[in-house]
């Protein structure tokens, strides 16, 4: 366990004021704040060592390339991947899932083939599959969440048919906080010969992840939620799947040779990284992951579990507050509505006036919101630096919102 007071000193933004109050940042599910080591790394690279990667033979290009490529190993270690060759850099989860859709799924799926999804997916893990439905006649098969917000792994497996070509599920719901048993889903899907994509956008943030233990085929993560720069990210792709993939984007860096008549490609993972990448973002992402590993993801998980338990206890007394999802072991993500009144946007605006940042809206999860019969919630999502005192500030803010709106 770490000392959260000390950890907070690593995040300069946390000491600023918003509308006259010290910031309480509870919008980590949308994007997390950055520790000084990430800010310093980005400044250092731009100020002292920047050049393009993989191209030049000059000193700065070699230095930047070395720092950039080092991150591949850092991501592999963070995710428990067997080899850094199974890591493709992306701009975030959205690009990672689109890469799988275009490079792996599209060439091997036709009319009537099926993709199994949970109703709790973020649009990033829905829309690329809708493209395949629209363009290639692929059928999307939906598995609903239980009344407590959990996702029954056995129901996901029961949705698999001889036409299923992929199961794509989130590790942790960005709305409900539900932790999905992706290891069981992967084991069962593989027994039926079906590969599995696990959307790690929220999962990798809240708990230690080991893709080798999960066994999944694809595990995309997004840097800005992992306390790194926006525009950074990576996807773990099992070597056998990577060997099956055709290139997605074409351009510099991903080729071996180009002639007038033909093109040959670089070996994976470079084959899937066309053009000048997010060089500085990726190096900053590496610094963020090093920071998290030094802190210990098990410590982060334990800290957040304690916070979540405290928040649940405080919320219990607010009998007009509805929290979506109460699955055992859920992550510290609370989507809320106030009984008898108050649009999520109004709740969020009142909280903002007290310096408390939460997200209001549909959280890029329309099918789940429809399933829950809601149009919007106010979502408080906790991170590694939040405190019990901040839970108290949130509760005070919610009580004010209830008085004004309820």
Sign (positive/negative) of CA torsion 54, 57, 63, 66?
positive
CB of 173 to ligand PLP, least distance (A): 7
Give dist(CA 116, CA 106) in Å, integer.
15
Number of residues binding to ligand PLP, judged by CB under 6 A: 14
Give dist(CA 205, CA 199) in Å, integer.
12
- Interactions with ligand PLP, residue window 202-221 (CB under 6 A): 202
Give dist(CA 84, CA 90) in Å, integer.
14
Binder to ligand PLP among 28, 33, 64, 94 (CB under 6 A)?
94
Binder to ligand PLP among 34, 41, 86, 92 (CB under 6 A)?
92
Residue 402 backbone phi and psi in degrees, to 5: -65, -40
CA 205 vs CA 80, 171, 288, 310, 378: distances in Å? 14, 10, 11, 20, 20
CB of 308 to ligand PLP, least distance (A): 17
Nearer to ligand PLP, 97 or 401 (CB): 97
- Interactions with ligand PLP, residue window 114-133 (CB under 6 A): 122, 124-125
Nearer to ligand PLP, 103 or 401 (CB): 103
Helix or strand or coil: residue 133?
helix
Q: List 265's β-bridge partners, or say none.
A: 255
Sign (positive/negative) of CA torsion 43, 48, 49, 51?
positive
CA 225 vs CA 33, 55, 260, 283: distances in Å? 8, 30, 43, 15
Apex 106 CA angle, 243 and 285, nearest 5: 60
- Interactions with ligand PLP, residue window 360-379 (CB under 6 A): 364
Question: Is 364 annotated as catalytic?
Answer: yes
Binding to ligand PLP by CB under 6 A, coded x per residue (else -) over 50-89, reads ----------------------------------------
Annotated active-site residue in 364, 372, 376, 391:
364
Nearer to ligand PLP, 228 or 268 (CB): 228
Q: Does 199 bind ligand PLP (CB under 6 A)?
A: yes
Nearer to ligand PLP, 64 or 174 (CB): 174
Pairing of strands 17-18, 164-170: unpaired
Is residue 293 within 8 Å of residue 78, measured between CB atoms? yes
Give dist(CA 152, CA 29) in Å, integer.
23
- Binding segment toward ligand PLP, per CB under 6 A, in 91-99, 261-269, 331-339, 389-397: 91-99
Nearer to ligand PLP, 164 or 201 (CB): 201
Q: Does 98 bind ligand PLP (CB under 6 A)?
A: no
Binder to ligand PLP among 145, 174, 348, 387 (CB under 6 A)?
174
The residues that are catalytic are 364
Query: What does the binding site for ligand PLP look like in residue numbers (CB under 6 A)?
Result: 92-94, 122, 124-125, 170, 174, 199, 201-202, 222, 224, 364
């Amino acid at each position: 366990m770490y000392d959260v007071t000390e950890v907070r000193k690593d995040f300069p933004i946390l000491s600023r004021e918003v509308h006259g109050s010290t910031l309480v940042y509870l919008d980590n599910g949308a994007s997390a704040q950055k520790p000084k080591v990430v800010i310093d790394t980005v400044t250092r690279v731009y100020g002292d060592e920047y050049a393009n990667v993989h191209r030049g033979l000059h000193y700065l290009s070699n230095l930047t390339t070395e720092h950039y490529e080092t991150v591949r190993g850092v991501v592999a270690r963070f995710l428990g991947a067997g080899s850094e060759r199974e890591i493709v850099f992306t701009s975030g989860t959205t690009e990672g899932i689109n890469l799988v859709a275009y490079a792996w799924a599209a060439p091997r799926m036709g009319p009537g083939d099926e993709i199994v999804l949970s109703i709790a997916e973020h649009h990033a893990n829905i829309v690329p599959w809708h493209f395949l439905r629209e363009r290639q006649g692929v059928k999307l098969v939906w598995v609903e969440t239980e009344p407590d917000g959990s996702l029954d792994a056995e129901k996901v497996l029961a949705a698999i048919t001889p036409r299923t070509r992929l199961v794509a599920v989130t590790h942790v719901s960005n709305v409900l906080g539900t932790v999905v048993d992706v290891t069981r889903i992967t084991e069962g899907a593989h027994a039926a010969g079906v590969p599995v994509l696990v959307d790690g956008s929220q999962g990798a943030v809240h708990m230690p992840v080991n893709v080798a233990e999960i066994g999944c085929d694809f595990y995309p993560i997004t840097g800005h939620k992992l306390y790194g720069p926006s525009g950074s990210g990576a996807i773990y792709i099992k070597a056998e799947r990577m060997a099956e993939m055709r290139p997605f984007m074409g351009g510099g860096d991903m080729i071996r040779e180009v002639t007038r008549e033909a093109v040959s490609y670089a070996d994976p993972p470079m084959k899937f990284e066309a053009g000048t990448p997010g060089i500085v973002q990726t190096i900053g992402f590496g610094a963020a992951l090093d920071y998290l590993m030094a802190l210990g993801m098990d410590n982060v998980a334990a800290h957040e579990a304690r916070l979540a338990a405290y928040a649940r206890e405080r919320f219990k007394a607010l009998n007009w507050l509805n929290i979506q999802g109460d699955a055992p072991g859920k992550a510290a993500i609370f989507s809320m509505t106030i009984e008898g009144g108050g649009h999520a946007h109004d709740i969020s605006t009142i909280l903002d006036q007290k310096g408390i940042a939460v997200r209001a809206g549909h959280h890029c999860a329309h099918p789940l919101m429809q399933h829950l019969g809601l149009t919007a919630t106010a979502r408080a999502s906790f991170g590694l630096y939040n405190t019990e005192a901040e839970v108290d500030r949130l509760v005070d803010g919610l009580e004010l919102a209830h008085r004004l709106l309820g």
